[in-house]
Copies of this chain bind each other. A is one copy, B any other.
Amino acid sequence: MDVAEIIEAKPGRRRERAGGRDGRRAGHGTELPHRAAPYIIRNIPTYDILGEDNLLKIEAAADRILAEVGIEFRDDPVALQHWKRAGADVDGLLVRFPPGMLREILKSAPSSFTQHARNPANNVEIGGKSVVFAPAYGSPFVTDLDKGRRYGTIEDFRNFIKLAQSSPWLHHSGGTICEPVDVPVNKRHLDMVYSHLKYSDRCFMGSVTAESRAEESIEMARIVFGRDFVDRNCVILGNVNVNSPLVWDGTMTNVLRAYARANQAAVIVPFILGGAMGPVTNAGAIAQSLAETMAGCALTQLERKGAPVIFGNFLSSMSLRTGSPTFGTPEPAIGSMVIGQLARRLNLPLRCAGNFSNSKLPDAQAMNEGTMSMLSAVHCGANFILHSAGFLDGLLSMSYEKFVMDMDFCGALHSYLAGVVVDDNSLAIDAFLEVGVGKHFLGCAHTMENYQTAFWDSAVADNEPFEKWEIAGQTDAATRANLRWKQMLADYQPPPMDEATDEALVEFVDRTKAKLADAWY
């Protein structure tokens, strides 16, 4: 089924969400929503940059790292027991893996699975040819052109959910879009999960900062979807990080096991800043990433065989003049293509990070770095692209304006991933015969039949002639995005939620909070 077919299969669903045709216009600007879909089925191939021989070398290096250096598993005796039972060499906290062991374990993980949304029209498939865009994740700060950078609040958090929900070009509500710093650390997850469920009807992610918080996130999903349904279907993702190089902390492994135990998908993500948490050379960082990710993914299978799991990665580089981390640079972009090849050889769904930048503003640097890294995620075959929108300041700030620009770019990528369709209609021989030489195609029958779905039409870009742009105020893209997010928030309409469900969620949140003293660290 290609993108066009998906749209045809779901007539009016975007329309319904945004309150009819006029509602959509007000909410989404004037995009032609012809390619909007619950997720994308890619119609272009993955971009495979290495041949079999080099892939085998990288896999062999990962096997040597796993067998000769090993990975430390801290503060999680159950994980160590799992590894012992599976045949690994466990020496204190250090686990060494016989070559081939992890690959064998990983055979039970599904190559593709459905994540269910509370609105079934928004279910997403993760794996195979699917591409799912989700917002950026984890910034302590938010920023906009009016107020500049400040700590994020639960209101900001809800705003970003509302903006994402209002866009036809994101497919997923994400997780910790920004940290709601005004809510105690040990209670944040309750407000965050509630907000995803309340203000969005798309798929979302739960807490990973403690096993109890992961379990409470899943429990809230059970209130909405039902206990049996959750045991049989994926409805929530948990994004867990390796403490690179080659350390898995107990918090993370306890959390990933909690998700796996509940048959929910953990996303396993090393964060390797080359030269710091890994070697400065790309091939070595990739081999390390493969080793760390395979170990995390395999642990989910030891906890519950067949649980869904996502192979993740987050390669990064650093400025060798200043030692600062850099984002959206060429080496991680091209390195991601190799990660994609390796994930496919493991037959696992792939998560890549999307729209990276180190810029502090929604400026030219932001979109140069962001576009290169987002295209790399799309080319490498990623199925779940976290950080698709909003990322600035090296992941420290969620930008309202960048969020709007990036969502628009996600829209463009719907057209990009549709590829080049070759059939009688698109080859347009009749149009050439009709128009002949030296005349224009504007009014010909073929143009009239095809123009509405022909080209991506950005809602943020200015495509007017210079003189019109000048009279209209000489705005830059950031200024237009600023106006746009305010309008989108003003126009936001919440997706309907069953009253009893809402009450049950609120009751769970209140009851759980009441058991906890506020903690701010």
Which residues of A pack against B, CB within 8 Å?
30, 32, 44-45, 47-50, 54, 57-58, 61, 64-65, 68-72, 94, 149, 243, 245-247, 274-284, 286-288, 317-322, 324-326, 329-331, 333-335, 337-338, 358-372, 375, 379, 393-394, 396-397, 402, 405, 409, 412-413, 415-416, 419-423, 425-429, 431-433, 435-442, 446-447, 450-452, 454-458, 460-466, 469-470, 474, 476-478, 481
Q: What are the 4 A-B residue pairs with the smallest beta carbon separation, nearest first?
A: A284-B428, A330-B416, A279-B428, A283-B426
Are B358 and A455 in contact, with the CB atoms below 8 A? no
Query: How many copies of this chain does one complex carry?
Result: 2
Residue in contact with A422 in the complex, picked from B50, B149, B446, CB distance below 8 Å: B50
Are A58 and B281 in contact, with the CB atoms below 8 A? no
Instruction: Determine the chain B residues whose CB is within 8 A of the CB of A428 once the complex forms.
Output: 279, 281, 283-284, 287
Q: Which B residue sits closest to A371, measured CB to CB?
A: B371
Are B476 and A279 in contact, with the CB atoms below 8 A? no
| A321 CB, nearest partner CB in chain B, Å | 6
Are B437 and A69 in contact, with the CB atoms below 8 A? yes
Residue in contact with A372 in the complex, picked from B276, B371, B425, CB distance below 8 Å: B371
Given contacts A274-B454, A276-B440, contact A365 B477 (CB under 8 A): yes
Given contacts A362-B364, A409-B368, A412-B329, contact A320 B452 (CB under 8 A): yes
Instruction: Determine the chain B residues whose CB is within 8 A of the CB of A438 once the complex forms.
Output: 72, 243, 245-247
Q: List 22 A-B contacts (CB under 8 A).
A: A30-B321, A54-B420, A57-B422, A65-B432, A68-B432, A71-B437, A72-B437, A149-B466, A279-B431, A280-B447, A283-B423, A317-B456, A319-B457, A324-B463, A330-B456, A334-B416, A335-B420, A361-B476, A368-B370, A368-B371, A368-B409, A394-B463
